[in-house]
Amino acid sequence: MTENNELRHIAIIMDGNGRWASKQGLPRSLGHKKGAEVVKTIARAAADKGIQYLTLYAFSTENWQRSKEEVSYLMTLLRQYLKGDLQELKENKVRIRFIGERYMLDADIRQMMADLEQETSAYDKMTLCIALSYGSRQEIISAVKKTAELIKSGNISLEDIDINLFSDMLYTKDIPDPDLLIRTSGEKRISNYLLWQSAYSELAFTDVLWPDFTPEHLQKIIDDFKTRERRYGKV
Ligand code: IPE
Ligand code: IPE
Ligand code: MG
């Protein structure tokens, strides 16, 4: 058995905020609020553990279909987060990236995102990648379109298309594929997250709801990951 698998990139589907709140008779919004605090704790813990890339699913393209009230609360929370909490990460030399369909977000949010990315672009402690208005199928379609444009303009030929070239057309360009993909809250599905990138990711599902997720839970999953044998189709 291979031990001490290299763990460069962890991707997390942060699920269960609403159920966490309902269980306590609270509105869903308070689950999201607590969830946002946990993001900070887990990002800090991952950086301390020497994880180089952490990609967090914060809002999916499909989440736009939730009630107006919930979406609007999530956007308020996001504004606060971009203004406050992420600034703290900046002080800790964390590089911040966003992946997703940006055009669907309000202009002021897009501006804050672009500013944070630019201001932190040279940092190297950890890359925190936040998937916002993100959908993997949409990402793949947009990559297909970019590739087709390159052919149309004569910059590449059909034969040039390979896994590396196509990976570079995705929002995750320059980010290695996740080694470990975690989903909280007991659901066992991928929900349109990093479909291309997770081809060989190790999957971990925990029943813990995201607002209850702690660095200790994370460590247990990492310990389990270290005992796995990644074969990539070989024997
Ligand atoms: C995850 O928690 C956060 C977002 C999808 C924005 P949910 O809001 O999906 O919580 P549950 O799954 O309803 O409990
Ligand atoms: C996935 O959770 C998206 C995020 C965690 C941001 P959902 O709660 O939206 O996924 P489904 O609807 O249970 O598949
Ligand atoms: Mg959910």
State if residue 58 touches ligand 2 by the CB under 6 angstroms criterion. Answer: yes
Cα distances from 207 to residues 13, 107, 223, in angstroms, run 12, 36, 17
Q: Which two tokens stand for residue 124?
A: 């190297």
124, 96 Cβ separation under 8 angstroms: no
1, 227 Cβ separation under 8 angstroms: yes
Closest ligand 2 atom to Cα of 15: 5
Q: What is the pTM of this model?
A: 0.97
The catalytic site residues sit at 15, 63
State if residue 186 touches ligand 2 by the CB under 6 angstroms criterion. Answer: no
pLDDT tens by residue, the chain, 235 residues: 445 799 999 999 999 999 999 999 999 999 999 999 999 999 999 999 999 999 999 999 999 999 999 999 999 999 999 998 777 877 889 999 999 999 999 999 999 999 999 999 999 999 999 999 999 999 999 999 999 999 999 999 999 999 999 999 999 999 999 999 999 999 999 999 999 999 999 999 999 999 999 999 999 999 999 999 999 999 9
Query: Which one-letter DSSP state was computed for residue 218?
Result: H
Q: Measured between alpha carbons, how far is 54 from 136 in angstroms, rounded to an integer? A: 17
Task: Write out the CATH class of domain 3-135+177-226.
Answer: alpha beta
Cα distances from 212 to residues 22, 45, 124, 135, in angstroms, run 14, 15, 29, 25
Instruction: Provide the residue ranges of all domains of the chain, joining segments of one domain with +.
Output: 3-135+177-226
Q: Select from 32, 38, 63 the residue to mutate for testing ligand 2; criterion: most ligand atoms less than 8 Å from CB.
A: 63
Bridge pairing between strands 126-134 and 94-99: parallel
Rounded distance from Cα 107 to ligand 1 centre (Å): 24
